Amino acid sequence: MPCFQETDNDLTVLKQFFYLFYLTVGFLSAEEIHLTEQKALTGDVIKETEQHLFVDLGFDLIKVPTSHVIKRVVTTANKEQLTYQKESGSLYSQKENAQTNTIEALVSTVGKATVQIQAPTSLGSGFIISPEGYVITNNHVISGENELTVILYEQGKNELRKTNFKKVEIIAQSPLYDLALLKVIDDREFPFVPIAKNLSLEQGETVFAVGSPLGLERSISKGIVSVKGRVMNNGITLIQHTSQINPGNSGGPLFNLKGEVVGVNNLKIASSSIEGIGFAIPTSHLLHFIDSRDSYAFDPRNPNAGYRYLTPPGEQWISKQPQKSKKQ
């Protein structure tokens, strides 16, 4: 009986055969890919990486940078329609009609965009929201610091490869919301995660956190939503959940089972007699912070920045007006 030993070349040929077979019988169908500058194209995406889409137009094969894709509609014979959209001028993206999945299947994707934030006196987590390298973390992780390092962990053949980025710019920060927006200065395209725009969490819904507790990179913890909106002492509403978070998780993402960011972990109640009470900043606050980043712009002269716009007191304003002399 003949014996067949599988090799890398044989596997490549086999994959090519199945691709041609699926293409012939129609299992692959065209996608509408909307690009920046009001351009679009239609074709079969035969390969997808974090940085590029390889699109077969029928008569040519082109490579499209994912940073230029603002909307993508995929329709196949055995999958529901999935829309990926990034609004014009926005730093973040959303998924429309995203399907739920297992944590095991999602971790390999969302973990790529979860980073560790290091400062001389603090350690935290964060996540990348755009291929240009914009990063979200907690304000208390970077407050008072100006030398930051963002560490990206990429999956190698047998291990995680650590890449340090020391050119990091603070774009905006808000002590009230405990949020900060950073920008990694580098020419490469970064993996990123979508943000849930319309937050529809339910009490008891499964969520999971990714971060670097105690510096242990890309650690996963699973829990449920305990309370959708817990009002804290400062008047800010947070998500209360049971995913285990520890020092180093601050600023890391909280995901739903669609792989969307639903919160930013920032607080836990710690005591020998208390367990499973953690909090995350909901995306309603996060999206407001990102969209209004000019109002929270970082000012290196002010350790409590963003900017504060104060209305001049009326009496002071009147007192500065020229006074007319009165005749006796």
- Residues taking part in catalysis: 140, 178, 250
What tokens does 194 get?
């979508």
User: What's the 3-state SS for 63-110?
Assistant: EEEHHHEEEEEEEECCEEEEEEECCCCCCCCEEECCCCCCHHHHHHHH
169 bridge partner residues: 183
Single out the residue of 202, 239, 209 nearest to residue 223, CA to CA: 209
What is the four-CA torsion angle of 237, 238, 241, 245, rounded to 10 degrees? -150
Query: 3-state DSSP helix/strand/coil percent for the chain, to nearest 5?
Result: 20, 40, 45
Q: Could you give the CA distance from residue 82 to residue 8 in angstroms, rounded to a whole number?
A: 33
Single out the residue of 100, 125, 95, 160 nearest to residue 254, CA to CA: 125
Question: Hey, is 180 helix, strand or coil?
Answer: strand
Single out the residue of 63, 82, 65, 86 nearest to residue 74, CA to CA: 82
